[in-house]
Amino acid sequence: MTLSPLSDAYFSRANDLLARAWSANAPTLTALAPLLGASIARGGVIHTFGSGHSELISREIIGRAGGLVCVTGIIDPTGGFIENLPGYGTKLIERYDRQYQLLPGEIVLVISNSGKNTSPIDVALYAKKKGLTVVALTCRAMSEITPSQHPGGQRLFEVADYTLDNGGVPGDAIVDTGEGVMAGPTSTFIGASVLNWLMLATIDWLKTHGHPLPLLRSQNLPGAIEHNRALGQTYKGRLSRQLA
């Protein structure tokens, strides 16, 4: 079906980038699934952080029907408006840590397309000091050519223990509307897919090793609300998004 030349161009290019991201990230996803699975089997939670638009990607796997109940988010109340204020990200995660706890051996997923802004790097550095494994989701092609805004000069992929690459392009948009004016970003589309691949690989690990699957059900299905509440009780006081 032809929708429009620009839409058709986006469909073709974005799906090509998605396929490349699948192949490029497979080894890292394979390495991460046992780490996440073992942490969950010990009662741990998965923490996520994304500043600005990247918060949409982190929220994709929080409280999600068909997703793991034990995923929680470090939420920036400013929506990323002051993400480059020195020290702001540290204060944000310190407050989160006091309220919900960051425990050694757990995993934090930090999402930043550019990988250069201060708050995501603050969050990653703090989590590493607390003994967590830091997983970055970023655009390597953009981050590698962009100077860091962090006082320490690091970019996110240089701080993280593992890096997942959304395979995007500098500037994010992939469709030329004319005279070099670009539209059609891919970071959310592919980033959300990468995180879902990671969640499913983790679920596979849990299943293979005989652990129960703490999966949420759609609240629109009979009995789902009661099921989800019972799951949530296991993680009472640890989830920033409490189940109703």
Query: HEC profile for the chain?
Result: CCCCHHHHHHHHHHHHHHHHHHHHHHHHHHHHHHHHHHHHHCCCCEEEEECCCHHHHHHCCCCCCCCECCEEECCCCCCCCCCCCCCHHHHHHHHHHHHHCCCCCCEEEEECCCCCCHHHHHHHHHHHHCCCEEEEEECHHHHCCCCCCCCCCCCHHHHCCEEEECCCCCCCEEEECCCCCEEEECHHHHHHHHHHHHHHHHHHHHHHCCCCCCECCCCCCCCHHHHHHHHHHCCCCCCCCCCC
Per-residue pLDDT at 242? 57
Q: Are 58 and 73 in contact (CB under 8 A)?
A: yes
Q: Which domains does the chain have, with CATH numbers?
A: 44-211+219-233 (3.40.50.10490)
What's the CA gap between 241 and 47, in Å, rounded?
11
Residues written for the chain: 244
What's the CA gap between 242 and 235, in Å, rounded?
9
Closest CA to 141 of 20, 26, 28, 47: 20
What's the CA gap between 44 and 28, in Å, rounded?
21
Per-residue pLDDT at 243? 53
pTM passes above 0.85: yes
Per-residue pLDDT at 86? 93
Provide the token pair at 26.
């497979």
Residues of the chain scoring pLDDT < 70: 242-244
Per-residue pLDDT at 3? 83
